[in-house]
Every structure is written in C-alpha cells, then in structure tokens.
Amino acid sequence: MATISSISLSARANILAKLKKEVVGADYSKLPPEPDYIYPDLTHQEQLAQFITHLENNHAQVIKTDLFNMAHVVTEQLKQRDIDSLLYGKNSQYSGHIEAIDSSITLSDFDFSIDKDNSAAKTRLFYQTPAGITGSRCSIAATGSIVLWPTPQEPRTLSLVPPVHFVIVDAKQLYSDFATLIKEQKWQQNLPTNAILISGPSKTADIQQTLAYGAHGPKELIVLLLNS
C-alpha cells in the first residue's frame, strides 16, 4: 500500500489542479458586496441582562458575587452538592481568591499532565474529580457565551472533565457579540492552541428530542459573575 505522503502528494496535486482549472481568470475585485450584519446597539446593562438570560435559559446557574465573597459562594455551592474537593490552577488569574476557600474543601492544583503514559493522572481527573474551577477571558452577550483560552495553569480538560464547572466571569469583559469580540481583540493575530466558547452545561437531545444535561462534559455550569 502506498505511504501517507505518496497518497497525499498525488491527491493534493490532482485536487488543486482540478480546482484551479475552474477558477482561472476569476476576478476577485468584482465580488459582490456582502451586507453588514449589525447587532442591535445595547447598553452595558442591557447586554449583561441578555448574557445572564441566555445562560440561564441554557441551564447554567449564574451567581453575582465579588472577589472577596467568591470563595465563600463556591464553598456553599460545593457543600450543597456534598462535594468536598475542588480542582483549580495554581498561579492563575484568580487563584489567590480561590485559595480562600473553606478548609473543609480539599483544594488541589492541576499539577499533573494528561498523556498516554500517565494513566494515574487520567484516572484521577476522570473519576476522582467532582468539580473544577477556572477563570475566563471574556464573554459574549448576544449568545450568553463564556470565552476560555486555556493555559498551562488552567488546562483544557479542567473545564471539561469534572462534572461541575465553576467559571469566574468578569462583567467588565463583556462584548456585544462574537464578531465584535474577534475584531476588538484582534484574534487573527494571536489565537491560542485552543479557544473555547461555553454557553451552558453539556447537553444532548439525541434521545427523542428530550433535553438531558451532562452528556459528556460538565453536568452543571456555575457562573461566578464579578463586577455586575
């Protein structure tokens, strides 16, 4: 059987040749103008209300708090769920405030690596981690989305694998819509390994159109909203 590169090289040449033949002489300066799509101009308060409504409609829990009460809120929420441990990222944006959590909760750092040869770490993350907490980069009002750019301190799986995900959102970092956010933050120039928009807990309607939460990702998304 042919090798990957020989299959790919000949396929590449054939596909591109076929396609190029059809667009020879295409005048890209004469493309029709694309209409602008503009989101309604809302005040910050209106956007915030929109953001919260969308999240709540998507079954997320939104709790307005501040940096100093945050740890207490998290403690209370964990206790309500009979959860006594929380995974977080040390030296992350809000780690200092997270560390103020009640001593009855075992706070542990995501200080292990998820890879093939580390099944102990995987097992721990998948089976012994009932809740995780992360910060966020910003959020989007029009769709009720929270934007995460995971870091080495707060890796991708921290917001994905634990059944309960606490996410800290700064209301000052709220954008009207995704297009505006990309433009203002110039995402074209600095996209991270993984950028993720989260708009609620994991869900599915794959069985008879009946919504069920916690398909594979977190069953619960608890939004800790600061500066609202």
Partner 1 sequence: MNVHQVDPNESKYSASATAFRANVDRDLANDELRDNFRGAMDYLMDKRKNAFPIEDELETLREKCKLIKQRCLLKLPQLLEQLEANLQRNGIQVHWAESITDANEIIAQLIAQKNGKTVVKGKSMVSEETALNDYLEARDIECLESDMGEYIVQLAHQHPSHIIMPAIHQNKKQVAKLFADNIEGFEYTTDVDALIGEGRRVLRDKFCHADVGISGVNFAVAETGTLCLVENEGNGRMCTTVPDLHIAITGIEKVIEFLDDMPPLLSLLTRSATGQIISTYFNMITHRRQEGDKDGPAEVHLVLLDNGRSQAFADEEMRQTLQCIRCGACMNHCPVYTRIGGHAYGTVYPGPIGKIISPHMLGIDATKDLFTASSLCGACGDVCPVKIPIPKLLLRLRKESVRKQSDGSPQIMHGQGAGRKTIEALLWQGWSIVHKSPTLYRISMFMLTRCRGLMPKKIGPWTTVRTAPQPAAKTLHERIKARNKATTQGAK
Q: Which of positions 194-223 make contact with partner 1 (CB under 8 A)?
A: 194-210, 212, 214-218
- Contact (CB, 8 A) for 110 and 162: no
Residue 139 sits in the site that holds partner 1 (CB under 8 A): no
Torsion-angle region of residue 209: left (phi > 0), alpha (psi -120 to 50) or beta? left
Of residues 142 and 222, the one with the C-beta less far from partner 1: 142
| Minimum gap (Å) between residue 212 Cβ and partner 1 | 4
The number of residues that bind partner 1 (CB under 8 A) is 83
Give CA–CA dist 73/142, Å, rounded.
Answer: 27
Of residues 64 and 203, the one with the C-beta less far from partner 1: 203
Torsion-angle region of residue 199: left (phi > 0), alpha (psi -120 to 50) or beta? alpha
Q: Where in 80-109 is the site for partner 1 (CB under 8 A)?
A: none
Of residues 65 and 220, the one with the C-beta less far from partner 1: 220
Q: Where in 152-171 is the site for partner 1 (CB under 8 A)?
A: 152, 155-157, 160-161
Binding partner 1 (rule: CB under 8 A), the pick from 45, 126, 128, 172 is: 126
Residue 120 sits in the site that holds partner 1 (CB under 8 A): no
Residue 135 sits in the site that holds partner 1 (CB under 8 A): no
Residue 137 sits in the site that holds partner 1 (CB under 8 A): no
Question: Who's near 212: CB < 8 A, 6+ residues apart?
Answer: 203, 204, 205
Question: Who's near 192: CB < 8 A, 6+ residues apart?
Answer: 149, 150
| Minimum gap (Å) between residue 202 Cβ and partner 1 | 4
Based on C-alpha coordinates, what's the Rg of the chain? Answer: 22
* Cα angle 56, 185, 28; round to 5: 110
Binding partner 1 (rule: CB under 8 A), the pick from 45, 106, 113, 128 is: 113
Give CA–CA dist 69/72, Å, rounded.
Answer: 5
Quick one: tokens of 133? 């907490």
Q: Where in 24-63 is the site for partner 1 (CB under 8 A)?
A: 26, 28, 31-32, 34-37, 54, 58
Quick one: tokens of 8? 């790919």
Of residues 68 and 115, the one with the C-beta less far from partner 1: 115
Residue 76 sits in the site that holds partner 1 (CB under 8 A): no
